[in-house]
Structure 1
Amino acid sequence: MASGKLSPRQKMINLMYLVFIAMLAMNMSKEVLSAFGFMNEKLVENNSTATLKNNETLANLETKAQEQPDKYGNLSKIANSVNQLSKDFSSYLETKKTLFLEGQEDPKNYEAMDQANIVDEHFFKNDKFTEEGQEFLDRINGYKNSVTELLGENNPLSAVINQRFDTSDQKTEDGTEPWLKNRYEGFPLISTITNLTSMQMDVKTTESEIYSSLLGGQLESDVSMSNYKTILIPEKSAFFQGENFKGKIVLGRYDASLQPSEVVVNGNKITKIENGGAVLDFPAGGVGEREVKGKFVFIENGEPVEIEINSSYAVIPKPNSAVISADKMNVVYRGVPNPMTISIPGIPDNLVTATAAGLNRSTGSGKYTMTPAAGREVTIKVSGKLPNGQTVSSSQNFRIKDIPSPQGTIRKESGHVTMPKSSLENSTVGAELPDFDFDLTLSTTGFTLKVPGQGAVVVRGSRMDAAAKKAIAKAKRGDVVTIFDIKSSLVGNSGYKIKNASPVSIEIQ
């Protein structure tokens, strides 16, 4: 068009044609910029809708976790962790969008957002990334890695998320190019804003897929018949010989609306079904372990599904005596509440009565405390009423022992201790009960101190008084100071007389 000898008129026509083509290109460019802007608006709107749906799903999951913590508690923790990661990452992307749009007078004038230098200067410096550019990559990879770690490598969603947020080098006609340069360098500002909004949409999509996967996986586990377990629920824990066994066999996921097509137990068909459980009523059999075997049959997808019943129960002889045991030892100690368990096999706790001087019922089935008073022995009498109305009774004697003599201590050390005079003057004298089965606290009320060559000093309380410090000051290096007649009282029961603690000796350094 520009070659050869042309007339001035033809040259003018050709020039006007070139200007026309340039104008068309400019108009096309403006239209593309506007298209990016409109796409960004649509993505922002979709993100808002996705946020609402995700929040509803998360709230639903949290409600289920409160109602059924064992089933949904861990799923709720994972979902909340994903939600927090997504919020943080999406907020970071939003700060980048705000930064890039700071200089724009009209955020809706997309045709004016054709410059690339704002993003290029922020992410790139020569052929390298700026700190902000590297941080951008790290934040993308950090979000991806954190989410997939929560899901686990074997979760199918992990591969999808890894691909969705892939920042590996991109293939080009000339080889490969870093992802950040390939996607952001030299592009108009509006395309970068749209890219960031699209990435926020990817975050919302990731959240939604994870929530659906967590809920869907649990619901699938709930409704699949292969995940049900049979549970034998006897009317009571043990049965007497000659009684009929009474109880139910139910599924692990109890559902009153669930009705089996057939139940067979020990070769017999069970026809009485109540609240999703097969009601059993048959002779308990002889003493010993008795098996309950059979099957539940359900119809799933038109096909029968069998669930095995394999359980047992124990038949014991009728009791004629009570079982009484001391929780701590085979004796009871004076001055302290001794925990005890009293029961009669086969008889409920509310039908068992136990009496003795100092015996009181405490919290818990069959739990009592015995606080013996005077004497060397106490008798506990127990009676209980059997289901047939008969009464059984028994009794047992327990020896009463005093709390043993405590061990004297200085600075919580016993026996022979070495320390300087200055330390001894400021030390506390104590009394302890080593290897005693009860956790008792003793308070020192007084002691006697003897320094070689000095008279004995009687001290009240647990610390050295002026007279004791004066005697200690006269001790020489190598002298052995003795503390004896250590008196103490039982915290919480000052009326009980504790024996004197063993002496403690201190060698002066």
Structure 2
Amino acid sequence: MASGNLSPRQKMINLMYLIFIAMIAMQMSKEVLSAFGYMNEKLADNNVTATKKNDATLSNLATKASEQPEKYSSLYAKAQKVDDLSKTFNDYLESKKSLFLEGQEDVKDYETMDKVDIVNEHFFVGDVFTAKGQEFLDHINGYREAIIELIGEKSALTPIIKKRFDTSDQITEDGKQAWLKNRYEGFPLISTITNLTSMQTDIKTTQAEIYGNLLGGQLESDVSMTKYEAIVIPEKTAFFQGENFKGKIVLGKVDPTLKPESVTVNGRDVKKENIQTGQVLLDFPAGSVGDRDIKGKFIFIENGKPVEIEINSSYAVIPKPNSAVISADKMNVVYRGVPNPMTISIPGIPDNLVTARGNGLKRVAGSGKYIMTPQSGKEVKITVTGKLPNGQMVSTSQNFRIKGIPSPSGSIRKQTGYVKMPKTSLVKSTVSAILPDFDFDLVLNTSGFTIKVPGQGAVVVRGNRMDAQAKKAIAKAKRGDVITIFAIKSSLAGNATYKIKEASAVSIEIQ
């Protein structure tokens, strides 16, 4: 453009035009670098949220495994293995990102992250891979194969995971090219960082899909009619001779839309008006003194075929009361660290002739009223003794599970989880630990917490409000930064000796 029989003025214009095009190309390059950086930030934020959701799912599965080990222990063991594999691989990728960004003064100055030598020298020597390059491939392949081995080749997720972590040779215009070279050789640093963050997102997604698959499979098994059990619930534990037996039969999993085709009890069909959604009302003569059986069956139609659920229970017909009724006023378990109100009585026997004993049990004012303060161990046995009018003593006992106070949730301005607010509000806010949906109204006193601002060191704070060092760190936060408050420590008001677990973390997005 600047050669030939052109005038000096035209040559100068053409030269300036070339310089202008070059400047535009450079500007576009910087914009592309920044776009990669912003994409990396978005992926990283999503990974934080995904991690919390996966951890919550795993924690829920752990609870189910402890409460119903036969149903959930094997699922939880598999989920734990997935979690271990995923965390190991995720941490490895994070270490690579830290290595590549070492020496970078501002990790958000994306326009300066156009270097290719850092990654090239780490992964390649000429046309072959370095030991670190091969190690990188081995980690990807190892994670993929270990996950597939866990879920099985026949799983619907297997082809998805194979494609997601595929490292086979790539087809290009010039033929085949090694996956590592195709994805990492000659690319600017910020694109490699974004690529690694994207792979971390794939890890989180894989975890979530596997957890959902495990729980979904169990749910499909649970809803099958063959998993239901008929339960006879009498109106009371014993009946006098000459009384009518009153009670109901419910299914172990009550569904408002569930109604059987027919119900047979003790050889007789139950009236249609007594067959209700999820339960059957019973009302028939109790019979003579002694143990009486209740036998029969539910009949449902499933997939066009009849499914029978057996009814097999019994009750006692007695001339005098011979058993106690023990019930926790608020729950079917007792909690360590708090006073648990209980009502204890024996039908037909006055309260002053009833005695209850148990480790930590104390009588209080009111008919049949007690307070249970659990001691050590996982169970407490309560034994109740009563004196009948004829002087005969009757006794019965019941075991109650002892549970600890659950882990509280961290909160800021009475909000938990992920909160958005300006940093001017954050510095004035109070950090708390709360127990949402807990059966007791407990007061927790916050004694300290740790706050982490992106790009700043973690700050340990005593008390429940931001100190000078925490405020200084918050002042450096930028709009869009996600500040994390974790390691929230608290104590139980009125019982400082009971150790409360650390509250869950709170994430605050600066607006």
TM-score, normalization by structure 2 = 0.51
The residue that corresponds to 1:82 in the other structure is: 82
What per-residue deviation string (whole Å, max 9, x for no partner) do you get for residues 361-396 of structure 1?
xxxxxxxxxxxxxxxxxxxxxxxxxxxxxxxxxxxx
CA contact (8 A) 2:124 2:130 kept: yes
The residue that corresponds to 1:261 in the other structure is: 260
Using a 3 Å threshold, how does the CA distance of structure 1 residues 276 and 69 change in structure 2: closer, same or farther? farther
CA contact (8 A) 1:265 1:293 kept: yes
Residues 343-382 of structure 1: matches in 2 within 5 Å? none
Structure 1 consecutive aligned stretches of length 4 or more whose deviation exceeds 6 Å: 247-250, 277-282, 310-313
The residue that corresponds to 1:503 in the other structure is: none
CA distance in structure 2 between the partners assigned to 1:255 and 1:232 by the alignment: 11
Tell whether 2:35 aligns with 1:35: yes
Secondary structure, in 3 states, of the residue corresponding to 1:156? Answer: coil
The residue that corresponds to 1:23 in the other structure is: 23
Secondary structure, in 3 states, of the residue corresponding to 2:121? Answer: helix
Using a 3 Å threshold, how does the CA distance of structure 1 residues 259 and 19 change in structure 2: closer, same or farther? closer
Using a 3 Å threshold, how does the CA distance of structure 1 residues 100 and 312 change in structure 2: closer, same or farther? closer
- Which residue of 290, 299, 303 maps to 1:296? 299
TM-score, normalization by structure 1 = 0.52
CA distance in structure 2 between the partners assigned to 1:74 and 1:231 by the alignment: 26
1:297, distance to aligned residue in structure 2 (A): 2.4
What per-residue deviation string (whole Å, max 9, x for no partner) do you get for residues 305-325 of structure 1?
731357999xxxxxxxxxxxx
Using a 3 Å threshold, how does the CA distance of structure 1 residues 277 and 77 change in structure 2: closer, same or farther? farther
CA contact (8 A) 1:258 1:276 kept: no
Identity among equivalent positions (%) equals 59
CA distance in structure 2 between the partners assigned to 1:311 and 1:190 by the alignment: 67
The residue that corresponds to 1:129 in the other structure is: 129
The residue that corresponds to 1:488 in the other structure is: none
What per-residue deviation string (whole Å, max 9, x for no partner) do you get for residues 376-422 of structure 1?
xxxxxxxxxxxxxxxxxxxxxxxxxxxxxxxxxxxxxxxxxxxxxxx
CA distance in structure 1 between the partners assigned to 2:312 and 2:48 by the alignment: 57
1:232, distance to aligned residue in structure 2 (A): 9.6
Amino acid at match of 2:262: V
Aligned length: 296
The residue that corresponds to 1:403 in the other structure is: none
Residues 42-441 of structure 1: matches in 2 within 5 Å? 42-222=42-222, 224-228=223-227, 253-255=252-254, 260-265=259-264, 268-271=268-271, 276=279, 295-297=298-300, 306-309=306-309
Amino acid at match of 1:102: E
Secondary structure, in 3 states, of the residue corresponding to 1:176? Answer: strand
CA contact (8 A) 2:248 2:279 kept: no
CA contact (8 A) 1:273 1:279 kept: no
Secondary structure, in 3 states, of the residue corresponding to 2:157? Answer: helix
CA contact (8 A) 1:230 1:307 kept: no
CA distance in structure 2 between the partners assigned to 1:230 and 1:140 by the alignment: 46
Amino acid at match of 1:296: I
CA distance in structure 1 between the partners assigned to 2:231 and 2:69 by the alignment: 24
Using a 3 Å threshold, how does the CA distance of structure 1 residues 227 and 116 change in structure 2: closer, same or farther? farther
Secondary structure, in 3 states, of the residue corresponding to 2:104? Answer: coil
What per-residue deviation string (whole Å, max 9, x for no partner) do you get for residues 118-172 of structure 1?
0000000111100100010010111111111111111111111111111111110
Amino acid at match of 1:194: T
1:265, distance to aligned residue in structure 2 (A): 3.8
CA contact (8 A) 1:93 1:196 kept: yes
Amino acid at match of 1:56: A
CA distance in structure 1 between the partners assigned to 2:283 and 2:118 by the alignment: 79
Using a 3 Å threshold, how does the CA distance of structure 1 residues 74 and 277 change in structure 2: closer, same or farther? farther
The residue that corresponds to 2:435 in the other structure is: none
Structure 2 residues without counterparts, runs of 5 or longer? 235-246, 286-294, 314-511
Using a 3 Å threshold, how does the CA distance of structure 1 residues 279 and 305 change in structure 2: closer, same or farther? farther
Structure 1 residues without counterparts, runs of 5 or longer? 236-246, 283-291, 314-509
Secondary structure, in 3 states, of the residue corresponding to 1:119? Answer: helix
Which has the higher Rg, Structure 1 or Structure 2? 1
Secondary structure, in 3 states, of the residue corresponding to 2:166? Answer: coil
CA distance in structure 1 between the partners assigned to 2:33 and 2:87 by the alignment: 29
